[in-house]
A = this chain, B = another copy of it.
């Protein structure tokens, strides 16, 4: 018995848990935090109680693994300052029932392990930095264009935080010539998310991006790219990343990435004239797809336990 325990102690890697909670679905994974996934569960995001309980059940009894720490990649806005009395509490959101919900304490209490939380996009940025489109870079930004638009920045290997987390989807954008769409953001109307997110496409063309015919899809890709390029320019001029990684469903529109690079170059207008900005890989497609958030959750968990990885 004692010998068996010792062997197990020596050979088994530490196992972490990761959760990505999005507006539609919640994905739970377990893994060693080295890019692997040993088990996975996906279910619909509903109320805070049901969603958190579903995840707790998975980690407590639904997998053969015992996790050492948990990383939550949650939709924002939420309080991510460690030591803040509202750490892990969801902020002002239109998602019914979620404003004010504490997403950290229930996990801590039920699982008895360290729990770290950050935005879904910060987690995705971490994962793309470790195993995806920004591997080996110290500073990059991950932007996702889907139901919402959000971004996470990595600076010298760490998630960029300050008073809170970034809110890159709500950048101001200059209206495209002839575009009179009012925008779908409940706060700003015609901000980046208001003009270029999935719901903005649906508001303009009457159907989701994935149901558009080839002509409309090309038109949508170009228009959305022209707005997102302004966001890329703002991000480039504010944090000076080495690369911008773009993910999300809307980014999968045919021709989107090429249009984005073209509009981005036009928006920079040759300033400040760095050759790196003109290189094709400065604006790269995300590589980890839907697994970026959950894998990033594992990075958050690993870091919560002080276990270094590639970027630490």
Chain A 253-277 interface 0/1 with B at a Cβ cutoff of 8 Å (1 = within): 0000000000000010111111011
Partner of A153, one of B167, B188, B238: B238
When C-beta atoms are compared, the residue in chain B nearest to A77 turns out to be B272
A60 sits at the interface (CB 8 A): no
Flag if A163 contacts B92 (CB, 8 Å).
Answer: no
A239 sits at the interface (CB 8 A): yes
A218 sits at the interface (CB 8 A): no
When C-beta atoms are compared, the residue in chain B nearest to A269 turns out to be B187
Flag if B173 contacts A174 (CB, 8 Å).
Answer: yes
Partner of A91, one of B169, B230, B273: B273
Q: How large is the interface on A (under 10, 10 to 19, 20 to 34, 35 or more residues)?
A: 35 or more
Kindly provide the distance from the CB of A266 to the nearest chain B CB, expressed in whole angstroms.
Answer: 10
Chain A 166-208 interface 0/1 with B at a Cβ cutoff of 8 Å (1 = within): 1111111111000000000001100000000000000000000
Flag if B267 contacts A172 (CB, 8 Å).
Answer: yes
**Which A residues lie at the B interface, using CB under 8 A?**
76-77, 91-92, 138-139, 151, 153, 155, 160-175, 187-188, 230, 233-242, 267, 269-274, 276-277
